[in-house]
Each structure stands twice: as C-alpha cells, then as structure tokens.
Structure 1
Amino acid sequence: MKIAIFGATGMAGSAITDEAARRGHHVLAASRHPRADGAANVASRAVDVADSTSVAAAVADMDAAVVTVRPAPGLESSLPALTRNVLDAARLHDVRVIVVGGSAPLWSPSLPGRRVFDDPAYVPAAWRTIAQASLDQFTACQQHPHEWWTYVSPPAFFEPGPRTGRYERGTDTLLVDERGTSRINAADFAIAIVDELENPGEDIHFTVATFSSDNETMEKRA
C-alpha cells in the first residue's frame, strides 16, 4: 500500500511512518521539515498542508492518506482548514483518509450525553484551546463531501514509549481503566492506525487505549 502521512515528523506521524514501513508499505513522509533518516520504504517530501496544490500532488498516486498535523501553540484554530485541504485532495483523487485527531469529540464515560470536551476531568481549562480545535476538526470531517474518511481519537493522554503490540479498540466513547486513566503510547497507537489501514473497520470514529500503571511523561491530545 502507498500511504501519504502528513505531519510525519511529529510524535504520532513518526510512529505511524515507522510502523507502516516496518510492515512493508511504501510511505510518503510529508512535513514542512522532511525526515532525513533514509528509512527503507520511506520517501520524504517537504509539504505545507496549508498549500492545497502541494497536498494534492502528495496524494495523487496514494492508496491512503493519514493526517497527523498538530499546529503550533497560537495556531490551533487552523487545524480544521488544514484537514479540509487533505480531504479536498483525497476527494479529487479518490483516496481514503485517516484523521488522527484528539479526544475532545469522544463521549465522556462519566457524563452521559456530554463530550470529553465538556468534561473537566479530561479537558481542564489549560487544554481547551487545542480541544476546541480538535472538536472543530471533527465537525469539518462530518461536513465535508468526501465520505471516505475515518477519525481516530487517541485517549486523553498520548505519550512516547516502547512498542508493546497491545491496545484495546473502542468506539466513540473515551476508554478508561478502573482508575479513570486513559492513555496510549505513540508506538502502540501507530499499530492501531496501520491495522485500520490494512483491515478497515465499520466505525468512522473510534478510539484506542492501553492500560498500565507506568507514570511516564505524557503529551495531551485533547
């Protein structure tokens, strides 16, 4: 499979690029500052996701595209437009899109009928800006005429860590353990993404998580 990964130098993008290449897929690692590691099956290209022409060129001969873009602080509101650029190009070339979003659009496990965005246990005030961007990104996908997309929400905490090969797949409600913890590391999240690329499920929105007691440095992806 030929896969274009946008945001390929970020935590999620790097892990997905490595996992896809590890399984023998051909990856176009697209980012503003391309990877330079020379990994097998990986071609790096400088692509600004804000430039619709370069995005269209990147997906032109792909089987799938993965959006893992995370705007810099202060630019979070650009996320829906960047995602639409990829969806526009994918629709033009009939390419499937997996959007790696945030946990904000998931349903809260403790507040019936409320999104994680509205649950301060998982989205405190300091994270509401990026959470709003993720929620708007999800809405942009729902409203886009390209119907061949899947939105994947990481759990509340997304972190670096070694590949264990373990994850649990949920639906559109935040997965938590018995203590209310919701997390996964990038390597195991990448396994779930490539599994979805290889064997698509029926859900257009789902989440994954792993449950452990390790206390490692975590990155919020609300």
Structure 2
Amino acid sequence: MSWRLIMRITVFGATGEVGSRVVAEALSRGHEVVAVMRNPAGVAAVPSAAEVRIGDAMNLDDVVTLSAGQDLVITATRPVAGQEHELPEITSVLLQALAHNGVRLLVVGGASTLLVPDADGLTLHETPDFPTELRPIAQACADQLALCRTETVADWTYLSPPAQLVPGERTGTYRAGLDELLTCSDGESAISTEDFAVALLDEAERPAHRRARFTVVAA
C-alpha cells in the first residue's frame, strides 16, 4: 500500500500561472496548503481546500508569520513588467526569514541561467537570439539564483523550467537535469505548468537537490 507523509506547505504567489498549479498539485496529494496572496481579489480563484492568507513576500514579518510551523515554503512569485527588481528582493527576504525559523524553501526560478548545449558555454539569456523584452526578468532570475547560491544557512532548492513553460496537460512524467537546458525528443525545450508542478512536489516529498538548482523538461 502506498503512503505519503502529509506536509504543511505555504505557497507565495498562489494565484499565478505556476502557483495555482502548485497549489492544486499539493492538494491533490493530500498536503495542507496555505495559499498566500497580496490582493484579496484573488481569493475566489483558490480551491476551498486551501487556507487563504493575505501577505506580502517582501515583508519579513509576513514571511516569518506565514511560514511558522510549516514544513515547506514554495515561492512562485513573478513581478509585473517594470518591477523585475522585486524578484531578488523577495528571495532575499524569504531566505532571511527561513534561515531564522529553519523551514525549507523551494524556489520557482527561471531558465535564463541554464547552459545551452553546444553554445560554447553560453547561458540561455546570453545567446544572441534571446528576446530583448525578456532580458529584465532573465537578469532578475539570474540575480535570484545567485542569492540562493550564496546562502549557507537556509535549506533551499531552485527549480529552473525549460525554455517554454505553458499551461497544458498533466502527464505526471518529466526528465530532470542540473545546469544544462534540456530538450524534448522533438528538439523543443518545454514542459506544461502542470507537469512542472509535479516535479516541484516530487522534490518537496523526496528531496534530491538540497542547496542546489535543477531543471526539468517534458518526457
């Protein structure tokens, strides 16, 4: 008979494109979820099985309060265009708070710093064809990962998506790697947000990348 340890999980950015899938996946596995959002208008979009709390991941007191007694915090926050600098700021607050209370952190990161195969050591956002409009968020994600990698007290894991992360089908399967951009059998580098959430919760339940970054792609 299969069994699973029930975890108490706080999700920041719970109503976003990734965060909402993370909440749904965690609930489907029987975990207790605290869904955190800044705007109360998003409450209706959260499944009734989750506990909704209003809070700001940039506020140290909020993070300490909302993570107290939890087994895990997942951050899936994404700033709006023009506010990309908030991403590393949020990560800094989370790392500080969770280093204080000993709660593990899973970070939904970016693909920008993944090494591109056969590109002479270039990362994705260093390649010539990388879209100009995406450079601010790519740099913010690079700064976010750098912050994590300098942290030696908090227990963190950083998950980078492939080049394309879009809503789609939950297959429950994926391939994992470390610092190199992965591609599917058709040459695309993509995964659905649903399967990305599967990978994140698999890591939550069976930690394999403590204080490290990993990445996934559709199987």
Structure 1 length as normaliser, TM-score? Answer: 0.89
Give the superposition deviation at 1:163: 1.2
C-alpha distance in structure 2 between counterparts of 1:131 and 1:9, whole Å:
22
1:32-47 equivalence runs, <5 A: 32-33=38-39, 34-37=42-45, 39=47, 41-47=49-55
State the Cα distance separating 1:198 from its structure 2 match: 0.3
Q: Percent identity?
A: 39
Q: Which amino acid is 1:120 matched to?
A: P
Specify every segment of 5 or more residues in structure 2 that has no aligned partner in the other structure, as ranges. 1-6
Extract unaligned runs of 5+ from structure 1: 212-222
Structure 2 counterparts to residues 12-161 of structure 1, below 5 A: 12-33=18-39, 34-37=42-45, 39=47, 41-121=49-129, 123-161=130-168
Measure, in 1, the Cα distance between the counterparts of 2:57 and 2:101: 16
Deviations 1:103-156 (A, max 9, x none): 0121111313222221234x3222111100100110111123434101100111
Question: How far did 1:179 drift?
Answer: 5.0
The ranges of structure 1 where at least 4 consecutive aligned residues each deviate by more than 6 angstroms after the TM superposition are none
Once the two structures are superposed, what CA deviation does each residue of 1:186-208 show, in whole Å capped at 9, x if it has no partner? 11110000000000114611101
- What is the aligned length? 210
- 2:168 maps to a residue whose letter is G
| Cα distance change on mapping 1:113 and 1:19 into 2, 3 Å | same
SS at match of 1:152: strand
CA gap of 1:104–1:26, structure 2 versus 1, over 3 A, is: same
* C-alpha deviation, 1:71, in angstroms: 0.2
SS of 1:36's equivalent?
A: helix
> C-alpha displacement at 1:44, in angstroms?
0.8
Report the TM-score when normalising by structure 2: 0.90
